[in-house]
Chains A and B, each alone.
Chain A
């Protein structure tokens, strides 16, 4: 199994150093290098790397902002020269990071872990998707989104996201005990998410159907859904019709 890897790092010398360190890892294939977030934002959907070695401090937008702008987050190992607050966020959520200058054994461990995670994720993305990246397949339960809330950040599998709620131009994600905002509109997300999994219950809500526990009739033709978390969501009258169709299939 090869790890198709993209290096995102603003210093040329630092990129060269990473390449040099990766030479001894035969399973790693460096598919590209990006010097800033704008370049990376183009390369990631194009190259569909398995792994991104991502510097947090980048000119313009930083590494976190880059990840937030992506529809689905690739597997990431962060690199940083010195991190006052970011490292704390990583340690809490067990995201992997490397301190520069990078130690060879730390890198080896991080790569091993990345390979394990990739092997565990069922069914690799079909090859035709990689070629036809422009067609942008919808995001399914296996995909992950990068979410940041103050000092904390997560890579959340969409399967764990039970509800998405409008919050102005942002969207509030509900997963576990957390409900952070992501900088995307609900309409945009509706277009990107797999309609078989995420159902637009109303103008306010997008519901993960696999989290629905109970359905009951509500006022004037609408429905009320109860999620496994206990949260309750109303399905508007117009959408209730579609919901019934979807469920009767």
Chain B
């Protein structure tokens, strides 16, 4: 089962791209291979025509075979970390060593005449060549895998960092959307004025503001609060908005006793009220009224936020509402709903309906 899922996440076999510096480390590896051969040739004083040719031909063919191996490994997806890759690589290296002899030995025997059949075709010679070249191909595969392992690690590290940044940005957006900066700065400005005008009330309003901020910052980690808790904060919010709107904002709250202990997602009513203020009060020079009502009916909690004003089609109120609706469904299940409609000629009502468990 886990294998099945990890397969699903990997791209289909057969499609691959070579690493951008593929040729760089191929050149480096086989360059070193030949350099080491030359070094030992010089040390043992055997660097004659036959030995140099042998070195060059084996180097060239090994390089070409490694290219084939690299492509085969990519094709099978071994470089992406399959469990079978270690065993597969061992076999592949031995096969490559055998193929190398099949390709190169005839050249020595029939083209360059630098070796005798008995030198190359004895069981001992074949075995020793196979061992020797398997070893160099194993080294090569170790290097090739090492590089891809490192690449994969770098890539996953990058992806992890990107994901972390995305999560942080999302959290910040959530925080910002909970406390409207417009509201916050107006609030601070009004508070500043109130300190000079009515210090006692200013002190009271500072408490209300900290109540609201604490709730917005802390409670979002829980999934549910009681309606009574939420309404305490909504009242704090309305008190604060009253500094801005004064007698332009009139409001009332009516909650059936049974409803006050019902669970609600935090900031739900607050958002509806904020929306009501935005459309029903702040845009109207003479202000208006907001009525919040809650009751239990037919196994559901119904919360209604009504404001003065009219819903205008295509007025761009869709996004905030859709957001709130999605959030409500996410937290309270598919049966929860949110509607926004004109109640009469000058009242709009938002109704959230949440099934009780």
Residues of A within 8 A of B (CB): 10-14, 16-17, 20, 35-36, 38, 57, 59-60, 81-82, 99-102
Contacts and interface: CB of A to CB of B under 8 A. Distances in A.
Determine the main DSSP class of B at the interface with A.
helix
A10 B189 CA distance: 13
Interface of B: 181-182, 184-186, 188-190, 192-194, 196-197, 243-246, 248, 282-285, 287
Contacts of A17: 189-190, 192-193, 196
22 contacts: A11-B186, A11-B189, A11-B244, A13-B189, A16-B197, A17-B190, A17-B192, A20-B196, A57-B182, A57-B282, A59-B283, A59-B285, A60-B283, A60-B285, A81-B181, A81-B185, A81-B186, A99-B185, A100-B185, A100-B189, A101-B192, A102-B189
Nearest to B245: A11
Given A11-B244, A59-B283, A81 B192 contact: no
Contacts, number: 64
Contacts of A20: 193, 196
Given A17-B190, A81-B186, 5 more contacts: A16-B196, A16-B197, A59-B285, A81-B181, A81-B185
Nearest to A9: B189
A15 to B, nearest CB: 8
A38 B196 contact: no
Given A20-B196, A82-B185, A100-B185, A13 B190 contact: yes
Nearest to B243: A13
A101 B197 contact: no
A118 B160 CA distance: 57
A100 B185 CA distance: 7
Contacts of A14: 186, 189-190, 193, 244
B244 A35 contact: no
Given A38-B285, A60-B285, A13 B185 contact: no
Nearest to B195: A17
A101 B283 contact: no
B223 to A, nearest CB: 30
A81 B182 contact: yes
Most A C-beta atoms less than 10 A away, residue of B188, B243, B285, B287: B285
A100 B193 contact: no
Contacts of B285: 35-36, 38, 59-60
B282 A13 contact: no
A13 B193 contact: yes
A60 to B, nearest CB: 5
Nearest to A16: B193
A143 B285 CA distance: 30
A81 B284 CA distance: 19
The 8 residue pairs across chains A and B that have the minimum distance between CB atoms: A17-B193, A81-B185, A13-B193, A100-B189, A82-B181, A13-B190, A101-B189, A81-B186
Given A11-B244, A17-B189, A17-B192, A59 B282 contact: yes
B284 to A, nearest CB: 6
A139 to B, nearest CB: 28
A59 B284 contact: yes
Nearest to A38: B285
Contacts of B245: 11
A101 B284 contact: no
Contacts of B282: 57, 59
